[in-house]
Amino acid sequence: MKYLIKDFQLYLKNEKGSSKNTLDSYLRDVEQYAAFLLRYHGIKSPKDIERVHLEAYMRSLKRIISTKSMARKLTAIKSFHHFLILEKEVSEDIAKSYKSPKIEKSLPKVLSVDEVISILNQVDPKTELGLRNMALLELIYGSGLRVSELLDIEMGDIHLNQGYIIVKGKGSKERMVPISDPSVVALREYIIKSREHLLHQMKTSYLFVNQKGSRLSRQGFFKLLKKLAHDAHVETDCSPHTLRHSFATHLLENGMDLRTLQSLLGHEDISTTQIYTHISQKRIQEIYQSAHPRAKEE
């Protein structure tokens, strides 16, 4: 099935416009599925895959991974079987009606405004890396970007005078995102005073670079944020996505409507955006319980 998995990769990239992260994830999931079918059922051709084989694979996963990971793997497998139908490799989609395991929805963790400010205060704006770090943090929190969107920004995508950037979201879909005044200031400072020095005469179109002049990696930014949060004594587990969640929650708490927030976040379905209304309500209850004298007595 190796040649079909390769064709599936091209289908995801060229026809579905999947991001690199989605490509890598789907291919890894489908390759593991194919390896299971070969090892335990001797299946080399998709024509030989039956519903019972898929059920056996999902049962094997149940013992070793979370329900959320199972659901993600099933999504990749369903996409692969749909591709097999499109390519007329099989006559029946055995995965189509297979129900995804129920996932318990947990509310994303968010930072308070004070915690965000505390993290920003850990950055030293007098150094070249500090200027870059301030631009990174102001932009990801000020515009609610996904980490992949942040690190994929190229020099031609930024329009500081007009106050917006072009980001490439899921499925390589582009959208225009406004940037805050503090972000504009931080970006100007970084571009004028820091970026050229960090490049060390290397050439790249990416906006954010590391100390060696290459594109800053997800791991690099994750480690940086973890350290800053630790130095700021922020107890909430902090990741790049925590800043995105915080951006959305803080905007809702200050009166932004869901449709506008959906557009800013690049969500296709507004139900994805609605999770932040639950966070806001939970935070309001927590503030009430800690602040109201009668609530404290109870």
Q: Report the catalytic residues.
A: 146, 170, 241, 244, 267, 276
User: What DSSP assignment string belongs to the chain?
Assistant: -HHHHHHHHHIIIIIS---HHHHHHHHHHHHHHHHHHHHHH---SGGG--HHHHHHHHHHHHTTS-HHHHHHHHHHHHHHHHHHHHTTS-SS-TTTTPPPPP----PPP---HHHHHHHHTTS-TTSHHHHHHHHHHHHHHHHT--HHHHHT-BGGGEETTTTEEEEE-GGG-EEEEE--HHHHHHHHHHIIIIIHHHHTT----BS-B-TTSSBPPHHHHHHHHHHHHHHTT--S---HHHHHHHHHHHHHHTT--HHHHHHHHT-SSHHHHTHHHHHHHHHHHHHHHHH-HHHHH-
